[in-house]
Structure 1
Amino acid sequence: MSPQLGRRPSTTRAVISEVAIDLFTRRGFDETSVDDVAEAAGIARRTLFRYYPSKNAIPWGDFDVHLEAMRTHLDALGDDLPVAVALQTALVEFNRVDADHLDSHRRRMRLLLEVPALQAHSMLMYTGWRDVIADFVARRTGASRDDHLPQTAGWLMLGVALAAYEQWLTDPAADLAALLTDGSRILDRGLRAL
């Protein structure tokens, strides 16, 4: 009987992403091909593209699932909670990482924030993240997601997240949740008026 081609039962987006991050970290992003990732994951190149549309998308893993979880978290918060506090809780919750995944997450974020080839794709991914924030602010303020205020809130919260990650990558002893909380408190005064 000949072996079957295609997806192995254990193949998931997360497994492919972890395998790729390991390769990208050891060999370099530009030096690692899609074929290298597919081979290391034990799948065909064609199968890999069923999970990810491009090599640049692979380090992002299940980002859309996380975005939906953040949207659900924000939607579940009561309207009596101030906007700034709601955004702070969502920011910390979205970026919560179990202790046993911290090293893996640090490698992922180092790639996403420091590899020039990933910068343009990252901006596209940040659009979806900012939209979740803008949708929430729009709902709470009666504005449209595309209005200036919700868009500004999305960009501000993205700035807080990126600044926290830069500090976290620089200092391995830093607490990511504390950095995110401290950064969002800086915005509290401006967002409190919402």
Structure 2
Amino acid sequence: MDTPASLRDRKKLRTREQLIESASELFAERGFDAVTVSEIAERAWVSERTFFRYFASKEDVLWPDSEEQLAQFAAVIESRPADEHPLAAVHGAMTMLAQAIGMDAGPALARAELVAETPSLVARDMVEHSKWEAAVAGAIRSRTGAEESSVAPEMVAVVAGGALKVSFERWVQAGAKSDLSELIDGAFAAIQEAIRD
């Protein structure tokens, strides 16, 4: 039997999902810049004030679970085998991420296409990438015990971030029909070749 608290939580989750779904539909129909917060709220059958209870801005609807996903990704990196090289640990975590994206490619592909066609979203996308690199660097620093003065965790994050960026862009260009995990594996293999050369 539902308690009042659990019922309230379910209703809040449903409202949040309705806002994300409504925004996605409108963005697909008319483009990001042509859609207002008021229109998203109206399609979701809520008030504009309710929208802002869930999201601080229209851009946030495109990255609704960013903080949670970053925390989960960092936790996976930290939980990888202790004797695994930091770059290999990130590679392993990224493969798991790619498999999760592959199961539900729609939102990631739709967002990438919106960013590509909307100059106003490019800056936010870069911020998200920077947050990703910071989370990776923090996880590497935590698992290796690297000194604050060491640049190694940041370098691992930048290299891994480059591999993910190139792989993801190729995956998007292929309309999400290629295997993102395989693209990531290829990018990391190219890094290893470059290091050996």
Q: Give TM-score scaled by structure 1 length.
A: 0.82
Aligned in 2, Cα 1:105/1:18: closer, same or farther, shift over 3 Å?
A: farther
Could you tell me which runs of 5 or more consecutive residues in structure 2 were left unpaired when the two chains were aligned. Answer: 1-8
State the identity %: 26
Q: CA RMSD in A?
A: 2.6
2:178 corresponding residue in structure 1: 174
Conservation of the 8 A alpha-carbon contact between 1:135 and 1:145: no
Per mean C-alpha deviation after superposition, the further-off stretch among 148-157 and 64-73 is: 148-157
SS at 1:97 equivalent? helix
| AA aligned opposite 2:180 | L
In the TM superposition, what whole-angstrom CA distance separates every residue of 1:93-127 from its partner, at most 9, and x where no partner exists? 22333656223331122223442111111222222
Map of 1:11 onto structure 2: 15
Using the TM superposition, give the Cα deviation of residue 188 of structure 1 relative to its aligned residue in structure 2, in angstroms: 3.7
Matched, 1:21 2:24: yes
In structure 1, give the amino acid aligned to 2:139: F
From the superposition, tell whether residues 146 and 174 of structure 1 become closer, same or farther in structure 2 (CA, over 3 Å): farther
SS in structure 1 of the partner of residue 99 of structure 2: coil
Richer in helix (by share) = 2
Paired residue type of 1:156: V
- Contact 2:133/2:161 (CA < 8 Å) preserved in 1? yes
CA distance in 2, matches of 1:27, 1:8: 30
Q: Specify which of 174, 184, 187 is matched with residue 183 of structure 1.
A: 187
Pick aligned residue for 1:80 from 74, 80, 83 = 83
The match for 1:111 is 114
CA contact (8 A) 2:116 2:122 kept: yes
The answer to whether residue 168 in structure 2 is matched with residue 165 in structure 1 is: yes
Q: How many residues align?
A: 185
Whole-angstrom CA distance in 2 between matches of 1:81 and 1:58: 36
Displacement of 1:190 after TM fit? 7.0
- Aligned 8 A contact 1:8 1:43 in 2: no
Q: Are residues 1:126 and 2:129 paired?
A: yes
Q: Which residue of 1 aligns with 2:74?
A: 71
1:51 aligns with 2:54: yes
Q: 1:22: Cα distance to partner? A: 2.1
TM-score, normalization: structure 2? 0.81
Report deviation, 1:174.
1.2
Greater mean deviation of Cα atoms: 82-91 or 183-192? 183-192
Give ranges in structure 1 of 5+ residues lacking alignment. Answer: 1-6
Distance 1:146 1:189, change over 3 A: farther
Query: Is the Cα contact below 8 Å between 1:84 and 1:187 reproduced in 2?
Result: no
| Cα 1:187–1:114 shift into 2, 3 Å | farther
1:37-89 Cα deviation digits (max 9, x unpaired): 11122221111112211111210121111111111111211211122221111
Instruction: Pick closer, same or farther for the CA change 1:133–1:146 going to 2, 3 Å.
Output: farther
Does the CA-based 8 Å contact 2:75-2:139 persist in structure 1? no
